[in-house]
Structure 1
Amino acid sequence: MMPGGLSRSRKATPEIQAIADKVRPQLEEQTNKKYEKFEAIEYKSQVVAGQNYFIKMDIGCGGFLHIKAFRGISKEDDWQLDGYQANKNKNDELTYF
């Protein structure tokens, strides 16, 4: 993958679910919602001055969110929610935002 470009879409792994779970409290604070279901479905990655992950989340009842999680270069950097898109459906493509 070329630095700066998005990877192809891949099926979510337990590692991707763990990243999503780390930024979930930040998302719930920003959206003022609690998500009973929060399942990573697929993701794309991007190499920047660190790493971005764009993750499609199944939030139940036919609802989906796209979240962007970022971690800097330093080992001490923790995952941060860097944005989200609400009102998505299962077939919406993950794109840069």
Structure 2
Amino acid sequence: MTQEAKPTMCGGIGAVKEAGEDIQELCNGVKASVEGKTNQKYDVFVAKSYKSQMVSGVNYFIKVHVGGDEHLHLRVYKTLPCNGGLVSLHGVQESKTVNCLIEYF
């Protein structure tokens, strides 16, 4: 995990950060699950920004560009390395724009 992906405080949600390769990899890992939940296929699926929350793992709230003016907000959970570092999709918000704030959901 790079420095950018580390949450800033336990329990709280950190500031918005620009998504890097590590966050894009999380998104790539849950893309099929997102397509299943939204019943759509995405040719464009680019992580743009995110917030993180340290819990008994890490919740990532990620803004993903999916083409045109459309964005999704994803809630992705990653268990701690001692618990396998497993990644899973915990929620999707559709009909977002580049200007929509990333919030807890």
Query: TM-score of the superposition, structure 1-length normalised?
Result: 0.94
Matched with 1:88 is 96
Q: Could you tell me which amino acid in structure 2 is paired with residue 82 of structure 1?
A: H
Stretches (4+) displaced over 4 A = none
For structure 1, the 5+ residue unaligned runs are none
1:76 aligns with 2:84: yes
Tell me, in whole angstroms, the C-alpha distance in 2 between the residues paired with 1:30 and 1:89. 19
For structure 2, the 5+ residue unaligned runs are 1-7
Question: Offset at 1:75?
Answer: 4.0
Post-superposition Cα deviations, 1:31-89, rounded to whole Å, max 9, x if no partner, equal 11110100000011110010011100000011000001001224424110010110001
Give the number of aligned pairs: 97
Percent identical pairs in the alignment equals 36
Q: Could you tell me which amino acid in structure 2 is paired with residue 93 of structure 1?
A: L
Tell me, in whole angstroms, the C-alpha distance in 2 between the residues paired with 1:34 and 1:40. 16
- Aligned partner of residue 92 in structure 1, secondary structure: coil
> Aligned-pair RMSD on alpha carbons?
1.0
Matched with 1:14 is 21
Q: Could you tell me which amino acid in structure 2 is paired with residue 25 of structure 1?
A: A
